[in-house]
Structure 1
Amino acid sequence: MRRVIGSWLGGPRSAFNHVREQANEARPSWRGQKLGLPADGPGSAAPPGKRLLAFVIDILLAALITGAFTAPKFPGDWSLLTWFLITVIPVAFFGFTPGMAVVRIWVARIDGTTMVGLPRAVLRCGLTLLIIPAVMWNFDGRSWHDRLTGTVVLRR
């Protein structure tokens, strides 16, 4: 019984060790294992670093495009609209943004349908804009915005 609930003499650390042991048992060996994805190579879950790099590339591209039309004035909110367009349209129809194409990752639906579709792409982009749903991850490498839209980001 002591092993299950810990001892008050051991302090809170001994109780948390048991919780940590249980969490390690339920944790998959690699990202996407529960989804049936391979551990490495094409079709495996994209690592967070590649996803972040693709996002930064998309933001910079949106700023450059908007800046070309609004120069010499500061683009302001127009670059946000440009980012929205270069994110939603390509993801909806092709499964990747320009930044994702550069780092060789793409968005796929969990149910196996070929196209992500416009409603899911708009929701996914809107949730990315809120930031929190895009940075909260589970053990499968999926963030909240992926789970809410039924998508996963994979390596090419």
Structure 2
Amino acid sequence: MTNPHPPVPPATDPAFTPPSLGRRFGALIIDWLLCLLVSNFFGGPIQHAWLPVLLLIVEYGLFLGLFAQTPGMYVTRIRCVAWFDGGRIGLLRALLRGLLLALVVPALIMDEHRRGLHDRLTGAVITDAPR
């Protein structure tokens, strides 16, 4: 059975409450560990320190662009959606968000909705995932 009322976009929802920073950080740690594991198939993070970072950017681009969740986000039950309409952000914006996240500093500059600079520049927001 489908819901006859579509979800309210986060930008227009006065009751919007962002997930905790702990869940966001937990998702990032899970995704980072997966990237470290995969990079071992290509020589390892010691020989190629840039490889896990590149894998993280690609992972975020593909998974957020196509599914609105990375594997870490799936485990922590959060997702990344468009701020104004609540839909997927698409591949290009997801890749840009991953690149900005890899720079670290944009993620530390947050607003009252816990949207980092990387979220605001790409029009994204982290929300709770439906069960």
Could you tell me the TM-score, scaled by structure 2's length?
0.80
Aligned residues: percent identity?
30
How does 1:37-52 map onto structure 2 within 5 Å? 38=15, 44-52=17-25
For the Cα contact (< 8 Å) 2:69–2:78, is it kept in 1? yes
Q: Which runs of 5+ in 2 are unaligned?
A: 1-9
How does 1:2-151 map onto structure 2 within 5 Å? 35-36=12-13, 38=15, 44-70=17-43, 74-112=47-85, 114-151=87-124
| In structure 2, distance between residues paired with 1:103 and 1:66 | 23
| In structure 1, distance between residues paired with 2:12 and 2:107 | 19
Q: Which runs of 5+ in 1 are unaligned?
A: 1-32
| In structure 1, distance between residues paired with 2:55 and 2:114 | 27
| In structure 2, distance between residues paired with 1:77 and 1:36 | 39
The amino acid of 1:80's aligned partner reads V
Question: Aligned pair in 2 of structure 1 residues 82, 153: CA closer, same or farther (>3 Å)?
Answer: same
Question: Aligned pair in 2 of structure 1 residues 112, 84: CA closer, same or farther (>3 Å)?
Answer: same
| In structure 1, distance between residues paired with 2:15 and 2:47 | 45
For the Cα contact (< 8 Å) 2:12–2:84, is it kept in 1? no
For the Cα contact (< 8 Å) 2:106–2:116, is it kept in 1? yes
Deviations along 1:37-84, one digit per CA (max 9) or x if unpaired, are 535xxxx4121111111111111100001113325x644222222212
Moved over 4 A (4+): none
Question: Aligned pair in 2 of structure 1 residues 69, 37: CA closer, same or farther (>3 Å)?
Answer: farther
| In structure 2, distance between residues paired with 1:102 and 1:87 | 15
For the Cα contact (< 8 Å) 1:56–1:99, is it kept in 2? yes
Structure with the larger RCO, 1 or 2 (CA within 8 Å, 6+ apart): 2
Number of corresponding residues: 120
| In structure 2, distance between residues paired with 1:57 and 1:145 | 19
